Amino acid sequence: MNRTAAIVLSLIFATLATLPAWAPPYWTVMGSLFLVYLAMAQMWNLLAGYCRVISLGQQMFVGLGGYALAVLSVYCGVPVWWSILAGGTVSAIFALVISFWLFRMSGTYLAIATWVVAEVLGLCFGNWSFVRYGMGLFIQPAYPVSPNQIYYGALAVGAGSVAVVYALLKSELGLGILAIRDDEEAARSVGVDVLRIRIWCFAIAAFVTGIASGVLHLHLVFIQPYKAFSIDWTVKLLFIAIIGGMGTIEGPIVGALVFVVLQHLFSEWPTMGLLLLGVCAVGIMAVAPNGITGIVEKRYGLETLSVRRR
């Protein structure tokens, strides 16, 4: 990491860490959403931008993480933060179990298979009497959780997602990840174990996404299967990664900020919101195929936090 990037990241983190102390409460809410979306998008980008795994089923981990929080806190009285951590663990274990079947496929077939798994999970939870079928559950922690506590939980998972990806890319495993990003066939030819790397990254992405979902549903207070397992989640993550710039750590940070701002601006037109977001995404892809960070990198010659694209 160069000095400029370190200074910018430090300033951003300091601003976010002190946000509840000086900003209006509404900004704290928006900051929580930004950080949760950042964490989820960073994980989707780890899969699609680096490992070349297009997953249309990340909502399966959103649903599992949210329901783990709801069930453990409502029915079992487990402390809320332990429930959120359990949601990430359940998501990671589920990812490992299904990965041995999923990764027998590739490309479009893999993308569709992940979506099918998410849909099946949504149907299972929608027909499960223990979680009140499709009527949903109100999340009632055993003890009150303040908006500031939720915000700092979101800050931990958002900053943690960036740190996890950065640490992965700087590790021995990261050499293989970057090789896959640049040229999968060339990576295979020099002995990179593509399958093993993809399975590990899939499990890590599931763990972080499950935790982020728990923090988000703690804020939303209510969970319903047809919302929690909706493909809308993956559409949002795809939008964030594309407009920010895939295959970079900075991309999801920029994309999540743009998404939250646009979502706020378009909130007055709920039925047109997704269409307007789609128009923005198409416009940005037409002007900048590598996203906003690609424009900045090309114009100013700045290096990314990972490794400059080939």
At residue 270, the pLDDT reads 67
25 part of a folded domain:
no
Domain assignment of residue 220, given as a range: 3-17+30-300
User: How far apart, in whole angstroms, are the C-alpha atoms of residue 163 and residue 21?
Assistant: 24
Number of domains in the chain: 1
Q: What is the pLDDT of residues 75-89, one digit of tens each?
A: 888 999 999 999 999
Mean pLDDT of 133-139: 88
Look up residue 68 and give its two tokens.
Answer: 């783990």
Residue 50 · residue 204 · CB < 8 Å = no
DSSP letters along 195-255, please? HHHHHHHHHHHHHHHHHHHHHHHHHH-EE-HHHHT-THHHHHHHHHHHHH-TTSSHHHHHH
Instruction: Residue 168: give its domain's CATH number.
Output: 1.10.3470
Closest C-alpha to 53, from 190, 205, 213: 205
Q: How far is CA 24 from CA 61, 163, 226, 240, 253, in A?
A: 32, 28, 33, 25, 22
Is 310 part of any domain? Answer: no
Return the closest-CA partner of residue 304 out of 178, 144, 143: 178
- The verdict on residue 258 lying in a domain is yes
Report the C-alpha gap between 145 and 278 in whole angstroms.
Answer: 35
Residue 309 pLDDT grade (very low, low, confident, very high; cuts 50, 70, 90): very low
309 falls within a domain = no
State the pLDDT at residue 213.
Answer: 97
Pick the closest to residue 49 from 165, 188, 150, 195 (CA basis). 165
Cβ atoms < 10 Å from Cβ of 253: 24
The per-residue pLDDT for range 164-215, each reduced to its tens digit, is 999 999 998 999 999 999 889 999 999 899 999 999 999 999 999 999 999 9
Residue 137 pairs in a beta bridge with 223
Model confidence pTM above 0.85: yes
